């Protein structure tokens, strides 16, 4: 599994730990993905290819398989999936013109004390997943878990 990636790592004398530092993907996640216990997510593939200066098709060739989604593997990666969902949501909010309280041009000390939003484009969860409070990260994970549960129920109905 992932022979091309293994070959590039070997030929460049790069360990999974070093690849982890280069890509900011945890060593555990990389190891599990290399063993096929966890998928290589698109963002991970991109980080790995950028770090190794290799095209994605060279490291991760497309293999046509059954298109059914393995929900159990997604549940194992709930944190990563939650991060991707939240970050995609935040990118869309920014595209729509929303910003955080810190970035609001109308922000004043009075707004901060009263916990009011100074304008209609302020957004309270306005940052990337890794910058959110643990409470907000867990909240996002619960939403994603709810979506996965709904997909499971739909699969059972088919």
Position 24 scores a pLDDT of 94
List pLDDT tens digits, range 57-95. 888 876 555 555 566 666 667 777 788 888 888 888 888
Cα–Cα dist 137/135, whole Å: 5
List pLDDT tens digits, range 13-44. 999 999 999 999 999 999 999 988 888 888 99
The model's pTM: 0.46
Q: Do 114 and 41 contact (CB within 8 A), yes or no? A: no
Q: What is the mean pLDDT of the chain?
A: 80
Q: Which pair of tokens denotes residue 145?
A: 């878990």
CA angle 143, 103, 46 (to 5 degrees): 55
Q: Which residues contact 85 (CB under 8 A, 6 or more apart)?
A: 140, 143, 144
Q: Region 132-155: what's the mean pLDDT?
A: 80
Phi, psi angles (nearest 5°) of residue 125:
-105, 50
Catalogue all structural domains in the chain, each as residue range(s) with its CATH number.
3-59 (1.10.260.40), 71-157 (no CATH)
Position 96 scores a pLDDT of 86
List pLDDT tens digits, range 47-57. 999 999 988 88
Position 106 scores a pLDDT of 77
């Amino acid at each position: 599994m992932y022979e091309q990636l293994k070959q590039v790592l070997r030929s460049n004398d790069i360990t999974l730990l070093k690849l982890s530092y280069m890509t900011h993907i945890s060593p555990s996640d990389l190891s599990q993905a290399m063993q096929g216990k966890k998928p290589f997510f698109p963002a991970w593939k991109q980080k790995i290819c950028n770090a190794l200066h290799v095209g994605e098709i060279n490291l991760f060739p497309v293999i046509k398989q059954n298109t059914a989604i393995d929900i159990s593997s997604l549940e194992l990666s709930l944190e990563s999936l939650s991060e991707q969902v939240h970050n995609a949501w935040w990118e869309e909010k920014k595209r729509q013109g929303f910003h955080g309280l810190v970035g609001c041009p109308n922000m004043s000390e009075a707004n901060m004390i009263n916990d009011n939003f100074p304008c209609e484009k302020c957004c309270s969860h306005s940052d990337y997943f890794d910058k959110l409070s643990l409470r907000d990260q867990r909240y996002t994970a619960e939403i994603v878990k709810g979506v996965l549960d709904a997909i499971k129920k739909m699969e059972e109905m088919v």
